[in-house]
């Protein structure tokens, strides 16, 4: 019966997935999903965060095993019990988080798991092979370099090389542009097209509409584990249509925002320099300020120093130079306690590893910032009744859906956990709040809830610094936006009235790729 799967169109199907079901505890990630990949195409796989795109592709790449459904490669049914099986069938995946061993060289990473060399490594011989392969596909990288010495873009090239070296015909790219600057994205697209020209096929996973319409020949869309569009030619479908397929309703971004009424400066960051965890410079002279009653955004491609800014401000990272003032008091290079005691709230990027204690109860988690003072503690002793009361109040006020406040927070969903953290941070009535990626990984309803909470803070007169990689979110919430690139502020723009302005997006985009604002303005003046 296999002829049916390969005979319909003139271009042969290289991969077909039929009726794939994959369940995780508590979630149905893929619900009878069908997927077809033609030979020699770039196939965009669209969907929101958590729609099941990566899960589906992890099944195809042999990393997960489906509960039901069948995979055909070139018409043959296949069972993959490991990624190795998938690679043998010609299917390789480049994951969003690179799977490279930092302490090893490029060649060593590429040779990992292969049968050749058999025992002795003989690296110089293989360095030459890797270099030649890179040449062929326009993927330039030094085979002898250690991974930790490479930039993110170079690491991605190593990942692609790793798959090409294994001779895969189908390359799955999971959100490949999330970590790249726009020029690098262009470079990636060139590479992908070169691969198509040499007979490969590509699956391109993304949640960004523009990119998919720019690169893909055909598009499939997933929504909450269900396939809502399968193999639609990308030229024949409008972005609005795709967006509706992705989220299930017309995308209208209209959060009511009152006009801003900023008061005095609350947070002042003066020319700070700091290093990242690897000891490399991450911030090079960042200055910005936030006034009471406004939300100030920080935009930028991931990994340009955003995390480090929030860490220096909150006191979790030392800075080499410069200082951070909170209402005139120096908070940088002190401990986190000083900021907490002077009205700073911090919603960290990493909710499970920084923002919460997973095995402790909700009650223990909500008193993290205020356990030092009444009513939670008196003379060094905790008042557990008062703490439980507070936790129950917050549970009601912030819609935390959980049977009891004694539940350990590791059992909460992402959205509920974020509400616990926001409840804790906001209930301290902060004068200043820094929030990093507060909506990442949440579902649509939860995102709106979190955004409303941030706006409520602004209305209440707090100063809010919002660090996000979602430009739309920044545009709809912020009053001003700073753009950061390689640890430097490229410029600052005002957001008027909440309407999205094409010109504004364009300017921000240019700054995100490393053009300072004054240069953009100068060129703009020349052009006019």
Q: Which of 7, 8, 11, 65 binds other proteins (CB under 8 A)?
A: 65
In the window 14-43, what residues touch other proteins (CB under 8 A)?
A: 18, 24-27
Measured distance CA(328)–CA(242) in Å, rounded:
49
Measured distance CA(293)–CA(478) in Å, rounded:
11
In the window 190-229, what residues touch other proteins (CB under 8 A)?
A: none
Q: Which of 194, 237, 411, 520 binds other proteins (CB under 8 A)?
A: 411
Shortest gap between Cβ of 515 and other proteins (angstroms)? 34
Shortest gap between Cβ of 131 and other proteins (angstroms)? 19
Pick from 162, 55, 56: which is nearest to 99 by CA?
162
Contact present, 285 and 471 (Cβ < 8 Å) = no
Sheet holding 488-494, edge to edge: 344-347, 432-436, 463-467, 295-299, 480-485, 488-494
Please classify residue 250 by burial: count the beta carbons closer than 10 Å to its beta carbon, then call 0-12 exposed, 13-18 middle and 19+ buried. exposed
Phi, psi (rounded to 5 degrees) for 511:
-70, -35
Q: Residue 176 contacts by C-beta under 8 Å, 6 or more apart in sequence?
A: 94, 156, 188, 204, 205, 206
Q: Does 333 bind other proteins (CB under 8 A)?
A: no
Query: Which region among 59-67, 215-223, 283-291, 450-458 touches other proteins (by CB under 8 A)?
Result: 59-67
Q: Residue 96 contacts by C-beta under 8 Å, 6 or more apart in sequence?
A: 54, 174, 175, 178
Shortest gap between Cβ of 107 and other proteins (angstroms)? 10
Total residues at interface with other proteins (CB under 8 A): 79
CA angle 120, 156, 158 (to 5 degrees): 20
Query: Which region among 318-326, 356-364, 460-468, 500-508 touches other proteins (by CB under 8 A)?
Result: 356-364
Q: Does 74 bind other proteins (CB under 8 A)?
A: no
Q: Which of 7, 77, 144, 429 binds other proteins (CB under 8 A)?
A: 77
Furthest-apart CA atoms within the chain: distance in Å: 80
Measured distance CA(270)–CA(284) in Å, rounded:
11
Question: Within 13 Å and on the Cβ side, how many CA atoms surround 349?
Answer: 15
Measured distance CA(408)–CA(362) in Å, rounded:
6
Shortest gap between Cβ of 337 and other proteins (angstroms)? 3
Measured distance CA(85)–CA(99) in Å, rounded:
17
CA angle 310, 315, 318 (to 5 degrees): 95
Shortest gap between Cβ of 376 and other proteins (angstroms)? 9
Report the residue number, 247 or 368, with the smaller CB distance to other proteins: 368
Q: Which of 221, 227, 266, 367 binds other proteins (CB under 8 A)?
A: 367
Binding mask 240-269 for other proteins (x = CB under 8 A): ------------------------------
In the window 84-113, what residues touch other proteins (CB under 8 A)?
A: 84-85, 87, 93, 95, 97, 99-104, 108, 111-113
Query: Which region among 183-191, 196-204, 352-360, 463-471 touches other proteins (by CB under 8 A)?
Result: 352-360
Residue 113, CA distances (Å) to 57, 84, 134 in order: 21, 9, 20
Report the residue number, 98 or 204, with the smaller CB distance to other proteins: 98
In the window 300-329, what residues touch other proteins (CB under 8 A)?
A: 314-316
Question: Would you say how long the chain is, in residues?
Answer: 528
Shortest gap between Cβ of 145 and other proteins (angstroms)? 16
In the window 391-410, what residues touch other proteins (CB under 8 A)?
A: 407-408
Report the residue number, 143 or 491, with the smaller CB distance to other proteins: 143
Measured distance CA(35)–CA(183) in Å, rounded:
31
Q: Which residues on neighbouring strands pair with residue 296, listed in sequence order?
A: 465, 480
Q: Does 156 bind other proteins (CB under 8 A)?
A: no
Q: Does 346 bind other proteins (CB under 8 A)?
A: yes
Q: Does 279 bind other proteins (CB under 8 A)?
A: yes
Measured distance CA(521)–CA(77) in Å, rounded:
58
Q: Does 524 bind other proteins (CB under 8 A)?
A: no
Q: Does 415 bind other proteins (CB under 8 A)?
A: no
Residue 148 carries which DSSP code?
A: G
Q: Which of 382, 397, 429, 456 binds other proteins (CB under 8 A)?
A: 382
Report the residue number, 321 or 359, with the smaller CB distance to other proteins: 359
Shortest gap between Cβ of 20 and other proteins (angstroms)? 11
Pick from 385, 382, 406, 410: which is nearest to 395 by CA?
406
Q: Does 64 bind other proteins (CB under 8 A)?
A: yes
Q: Does 120 bind other proteins (CB under 8 A)?
A: yes
Shortest gap between Cβ of 259 and other proteins (angstroms)? 34
Shortest gap between Cβ of 64 and other proteins (angstroms)? 6
Both tokens assigned to 139: 């993927």
């Amino acid at each position: 019966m296999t002829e049916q799967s390969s005979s319909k169109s003139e271009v042969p199907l290289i991969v077909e997935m039929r009726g794939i079901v994959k369940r995780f505890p508590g979630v149905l990630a893929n619900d009878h999903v069908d997927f077809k990949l033609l030979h020699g195409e770039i196939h965009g796989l669209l969907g929101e965060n958590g729609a099941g795109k990566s899960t589906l592709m992890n099944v195809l790449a042999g990393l997960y095993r489906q509960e039901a459904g069948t995979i055909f490669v070139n018409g043959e049914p296949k069972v993959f019990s490991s990624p190795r099986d998938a690679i043998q069938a010609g299917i390789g995946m480049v994951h969003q988080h690179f799977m490279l061993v930092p302490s090893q060289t490029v060649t060593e990473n590429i040779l990992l798991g292969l049968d050749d060399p058999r025992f002795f490594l003989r690296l110089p011989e293989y360095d030459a092979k890797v270099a030649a392969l890179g040449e062929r596909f326009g993927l330039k990288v030094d085979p002898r370099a250690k991974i930790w010495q490479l930039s993110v873009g170079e690491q991605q090239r190593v990942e692609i090389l790793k798959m090409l070296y294994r001779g895969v015909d189908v390359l799955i790219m999971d959100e490949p542009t999330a970590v790249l600057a726009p020029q690098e994205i262009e470079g990636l697209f060139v590479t992908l097209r070169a691969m198509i020209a040499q007979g490969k096929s590509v699956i391109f996973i993304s949640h960004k509409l523009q990119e998919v319409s720019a690169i893909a020949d055909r598009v499939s869309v997933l929504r909450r584990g269900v396939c809502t569009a399968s193999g639609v030619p990308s030229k024949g479908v409008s972005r609005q249509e795709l967006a509706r397929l992705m989220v299930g309703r017309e995308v209208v971004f209209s959060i009511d925002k009152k006009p801003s009424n900023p008061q005095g400066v609350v947070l002042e960051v003066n020319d700070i320099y700091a290093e990242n965890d690897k000891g490399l410079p991450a911030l090079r002279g960042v200055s910005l300020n936030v006034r009471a009653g406004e939300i100030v955004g920080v935009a930028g491609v991931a990994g340009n120093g955003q995390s480090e800014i929030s860490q220096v401000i909150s006191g979790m990272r030392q800075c080499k130079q410069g200082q951070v003032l909170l209402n005139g008091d120096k908070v940088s290079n002190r401990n986190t306690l000083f900021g907490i005691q002077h009205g700073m709230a911090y919603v960290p990027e990493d909710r499970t590893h920084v923002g919460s204690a997973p095995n402790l109860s909700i009650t223990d988690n909500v008193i993290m910032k205020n356990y030092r003072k009444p009513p939670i503690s008196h003379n060094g002793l905790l008042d557990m009744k008062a703490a439980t009361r507070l936790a129950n109040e917050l549970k009601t006020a912030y819609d935390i859906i959980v049977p009891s406040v004694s539940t350990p927070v590791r059992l909460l969903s992402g959205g509920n956990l974020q509400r616990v953290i926001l409840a804790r941070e906001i209930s301290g009535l902060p004068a200043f709040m820094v929030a990093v990626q507060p909506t990442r990984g949440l579902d649509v309803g939860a995102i709106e809830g979190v955004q409303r909470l941030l706006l409520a803070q602004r209305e209440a007169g707090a100063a809010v610094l919002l660090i996000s990689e979602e430009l739309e979110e920044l545009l709809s919430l912020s009053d001003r936006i700073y753009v950061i690139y390689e640890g430097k502020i490229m410029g600052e723009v005002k957001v008027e009235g909440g309407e999205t302005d094409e010109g504004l997006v364009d300017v921000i985009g240019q700054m995100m790729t490393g053009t300072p604002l004054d240069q953009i303005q100068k060129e703009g003046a020349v052009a006019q």
